[in-house]
Amino acid sequence: MCYTGASSIMVTNLRLCLVQLWHTPTPSFTIIDMVEITLKQNSLLLYKNKPARLVKPGVKKIEIDVAESGAASVRPKDVVQIHPGPLQSLTELRPVTGDVTTAWELLAGETTNLEELAELAFSEFTPATAWAVWQLVEDGLYFYGTPEAVQVRTQAEVTQIKTARAEKEAEEEAWAAFLARLQENKLIPEDGRFLQDLIPLATDQSKQSKVLNALNQAETRENAHALLLKIGQWDESHNPYPARIGVTTRSPEFPLDDLPPETRRDLTHLPAFAIDDEGSTDPDDALSWQDGRLWVHIADVAALAPPDSLADLEARGRGANLYLPEGTITMLPPKATALLGLGLQEKSPALSFGFTVSEIGEISNLEIVPSWVCVTRLTYAEVETRLDEEPFRSIFETTQVYERRRQENGAIDIDLPEIRIKVNEMGQVEIRPLLRLRSRDMVRDAMLMTGEAVARYAFEQGLPLPYTTQDAPTEPLEPAETPSQFFARRRLMSPSRQSTQPGAHAGLGMGFYAQATSPLRRYLDLVVHQQLRAHITGSTPLDEQELMERVGAAGAVSGDVRTAERLSNRHWTMVYLLQNPDWTGESIVIEKRGRKDVILIPELDLETRISMKGERPLDSTVQLTLTGVDLPNLEAFFSAK
């Protein structure tokens, strides 16, 4: 027997009834009769949480009239009947008055149904009171559940919900007041809590912002940055890019061990010179000359940072020093620089590389020794005026021989402007060019010689090493003499990479090369020193697998460091322009790209695109005037004369 009570009208019950009737040999009524009994015409239905009136019953489809949307054809299982009717029009569902509180108090903690609750609250069960009761159930304050089983909340539950709703309403009012103040840019200190989602978005730690969403602005880090600037949470000096990239902006702080007791060759009798840019704070290489033999002294960092030591692990996790215009974040504790930086102490520990260079630029007679050196610090500009003095003359002539050999081997020269950006103590940005000096070339080639000598030595000795290689360009390089030609040449160059297998470095014109002269600044240079120290002291060096792990670890983070540096430099260039709103200067057309020209501003080392009237040939100069700066998007705008 199939029984369907007054309130048991769920679709599952209907299906059971239909199945039983189908298997009854001589039913007293048809299937459609059963549908009409269960879902009566003009009954009140619930469809997608909206009231609906059953217009025409059916087996597979029924026709209904839905509030706000009109006629619809749906499946019977898509609706729930909440009153059998008759309901002639949905307009009959007018608001009704009753005593809901008394009904709740009488039934608190019990289970009831729509009909019983309507009778208690409104004294009758009609389509209008059924709909009113269902709205109370949906509201959830006093009641919750289904049409068949309405749960009545206890006093404690109602009190808790009322408190929560009051708190929510107060918070919504506070939020609305905050948004009004925000649009008028009249924030108060208490508004800080509403702004907390802007900084995570601006630093790429989050992808959403309730504030920007409420302002109908795209939830981008650039928009978050712009709003933080507008409301004064950040000022122009705030550089978000290291945090956005995910690199740490604090140097490590932990104690370092003393230098291990070992025999060091005393080279303090040789004049040694650490030559660097003015303001450099981490000198890690110096040059000496001894009777036709070049000595390159490198800070002996591996003596204090052996493999898998705390210092080694810290440097491995950072990959390299982070050089920002506002300061340097070191990969090792600052104490390492104070102890090991060449020329910072009266006598400095070094790993010294001595070798000779033939008349055709070939390196021989390499000697690697832990040493003591006395170092004098000089700037490139100071040495530039002393290249006709010894020992600088002999060192310079030797490096020139080596450079000619590199050029003959296909070294690729790219002569584009370089600058140095610094933020002074007053917060002003200083930009100065790095001049192409012979002294700078001399030091560069001395370091390259050392890198080649070390790479060849390791290969011959079977010592695993992280070599630095670079593939040759896939397209032939045209001769380059102008900025546009050097720019085009640079675009064809592949990035260099580190590998445990030796290979040519096309850009440098070298068959073997390993970066070995900056162990205070680059982690893989430190690894090279660890390997060399192990080899010359007779201890066990890292095997190739251990070396590959370190190459991979350094590669995973050093790219982020370089990206953070590049974006930070551009950020501070934009700040420099904001600090100099009347800036004018000269630019060079270096590429044609669609309707715009790519221009290079040498004094800023800034590339940008600009639309100009008339045809401007490549390498022509264009006078520019600054017209605006969009700091969050790292864009500057110029007009051309």
Residue-wise pLDDT tens digits, 217-233? 999 999 999 999 999 99
User: Does residue 113 contact residue 150 with C-beta atoms inside 8 Å?
Assistant: yes
Task: Give yes or no for residue 246 having a pLDDT over 70.
Answer: yes
Q: List CB contacts of 12: < 8 A, sequence separation 6 or more.
A: none
Task: Give yes or no for residue 5 having a pLDDT over 70.
Answer: no
Percent of the chain scoring above 70 in pLDDT: 94
Cross-sheet strand order for the sheet of 348-357:
265-266, 363-373, 348-357, 293-299, 285-290, 272-276, 375-379
Helix (H) or strand (E) holding 468: strand 467-469
- Tell me what pLDDT residue 616 has: 87
CATH 2.30.30.150 in the chain is located at 11-92
Report how far residue 624's alpha carbon sits from residue 450's, in angstroms, rounded to the nearest whole number: 44
Task: Give yes or no for residue 8 having a pLDDT over 60.
Answer: no
Report how far residue 508's alpha carbon sits from residue 414's, in angstroms, rounded to the nearest whole number: 11
- The whole-number average pLDDT for the span 419-443 is 95
Report how far residue 49's alpha carbon sits from residue 216's, in angstroms, rounded to the nearest whole number: 29
- The whole-number average pLDDT for the span 289-311 is 97
Task: Give yes or no for residue 3 having a pLDDT over 70.
Answer: no
User: Does residue 421 contact residue 325 with C-beta atoms inside 8 Å?
Assistant: yes
- The whole-number average pLDDT for the span 454-471 is 97
End-to-end CA distance of the chain: 96
Closest CA to 286 of 439, 446, 401, 399: 446
Report how far residue 127's alpha carbon sits from residue 94's, in angstroms, rounded to the nearest whole number: 10
- The whole-number average pLDDT for the span 399-409 is 97
Q: Is 160 left (phi over 0), alpha (psi -120 to 50) or beta?
A: alpha
Q: List CB contacts of 169: < 8 A, sequence separation 6 or more.
A: none
Per-residue pLDDT tens over the stretch 111-152: 999 999 999 999 999 999 999 999 999 999 999 999 889 999
User: Does residue 5 contact residue 37 with C-beta atoms inside 8 Å?
Assistant: no
- Tell me what pLDDT residue 35 has: 40
pLDDT confidence tier of residue 468, bands split at 50, 70 and 90: very high
Per-residue pLDDT tens over the stretch 312-360: 999 999 999 999 999 999 999 999 999 999 999 999 999 999 999 999 9
- Tell me what pLDDT residue 257 has: 87
Residue type, 306: P
DSSP bridge partners of 624 = 585, 640
Torsion, Cα of 233, 235, 240, 242 (10° steps): -120
- Tell me what pLDDT residue 26 has: 39
Residue 554 buriedness (CB in 10 A; 0-12 / 13-18 / 19+): buried
Report how far residue 432's alpha carbon sits from residue 558's, in angstroms, rounded to the nearest whole number: 26
Residue type, 256: L
What burial letters (b/e) apply to 205-231, b meaning 16+ CB within 10 Å?
A: eeeebebbeeeeeebbbebbbbbbbeb
- The whole-number average pLDDT for the span 297-316 is 96
- Tell me what pLDDT residue 4 has: 34
Per-residue pLDDT tens over the stretch 152-184: 999 999 999 999 999 999 999 999 999 999 999
- Tell me what pLDDT residue 296 has: 98
Task: Give yes or no for residue 239 having a pLDDT over 80.
Answer: yes
CATH 2.40.50.140 in the chain is located at 580-640
Per-residue pLDDT tens over the stretch 407-418: 999 999 999 999
Report how far residue 258's alpha carbon sits from residue 384's, in angstroms, rounded to the nearest whole number: 37
- Tell me what pLDDT residue 593 has: 83
- The whole-number average pLDDT for the span 250-264 is 92
User: Does residue 499 contact residue 465 with C-beta atoms inside 8 Å?
Assistant: no
When comparing pLDDT for 160 and 40, which is higher? Answer: 160
- The whole-number average pLDDT for the span 461-488 is 93
User: Does residue 632 contact residue 222 with C-beta atoms inside 8 Å?
Assistant: yes
In the three-class reduction of DSSP (H, G, I as helix; E, B as strand; rest coil), residue 541 is classed as: coil
- The whole-number average pLDDT for the span 273-277 is 96
Report how far residue 620's alpha carbon sits from residue 453's, in angstroms, rounded to the nearest whole number: 43
The conformation of residue 619, written as its DSSP 8-state character, comes to: T
- Tell me what pLDDT residue 612 has: 84
The conformation of residue 85, written as its DSSP 8-state character, comes to: -
CA geometry: angle 318, 635, 249, nearest 5 deg: 20
Torsion, Cα of 476, 491, 552, 562 (10° steps): 150
Tokens of 436: 């192409």
Query: Domain spanning 580-640: which superfamily?
Result: Nucleic acid-binding proteins (2.40.50.140)
Residue type, 449: M
Instruction: Tell me, rounded to whole angstroms, the distance of Cα 130 from its chain centroid.
Output: 56
Length of the chain measured in residues: 641
- Tell me what pLDDT residue 15 has: 35
Helix (H) or strand (E) holding 401: helix 392-408
Per-residue pLDDT tens over the stretch 9-31: 333 333 333 333 333 443 433 33
Per-residue pLDDT tens over the stretch 612-640: 887 889 999 999 999 999 999 999 999 99
- The whole-number average pLDDT for the span 542-549 is 96
Per-residue pLDDT tens over the stretch 559-601: 999 999 999 999 999 999 999 999 999 999 999 887 889 999 9
The overall average pLDDT reported for the chain is 92
- Tell me what pLDDT residue 251 has: 96
pLDDT confidence tier of residue 91, bands split at 50, 70 and 90: very high
> For 157-234, CATH number?
1.10.10.10
DSSP bridge partners of 607 = 600
- Tell me what pLDDT residue 279 has: 85
Closest CA to 205 of 246, 254, 242: 246
Closest CA to 376 of 518, 278, 274: 274
Report how far residue 10's alpha carbon sits from residue 88's, in angstroms, rounded to the nearest whole number: 23
Tokens of 602: 């040498």
Report how far residue 257's alpha carbon sits from residue 416's, in angstroms, rounded to the nearest whole number: 43
Residue type, 302: A
- Tell me what pLDDT residue 153 has: 96
What is the maximum span of the chain, computed from C-alpha positions, in angstroms? Answer: 123
CATH 1.10.10.10 in the chain is located at 157-234
The DSSP code sequence of 202-247 is HTTS-S--HHHHHTT----HHHHHHHHHHTTSS-TT---HHHHHT-
Tokens of 220: 């981008």
Residue 612 buriedness (CB in 10 A; 0-12 / 13-18 / 19+): middle
Tokens of 468: 């630095």
3-state SS record for 288-338: EEECCEEEEEEECHHHCCCCCCHHHHHHHHHCECEEECCEEECCCCHHHHH
Report how far residue 273's alpha carbon sits from residue 378's, in angstroms, rounded to the nearest whole number: 7
Report how far residue 438's alpha carbon sits from residue 382's, in angstroms, rounded to the nearest whole number: 11
- Tell me what pLDDT residue 513 has: 97
- Tell me what pLDDT residue 34 has: 41
Tokens of 89: 């029009």
User: Does residue 207 contact residue 539 with C-beta atoms inside 8 Å?
Assistant: no
Residue type, 136: L
Report how far residue 393's alpha carbon sits from residue 398's, in angstroms, rounded to the nearest whole number: 9
Q: List CB contacts of 542: < 8 A, sequence separation 6 or more.
A: 307, 464, 527, 530, 531, 534, 550
Query: Domain spanning 11-92: which superfamily?
Result: KorB, C-terminal domain (2.30.30.150)
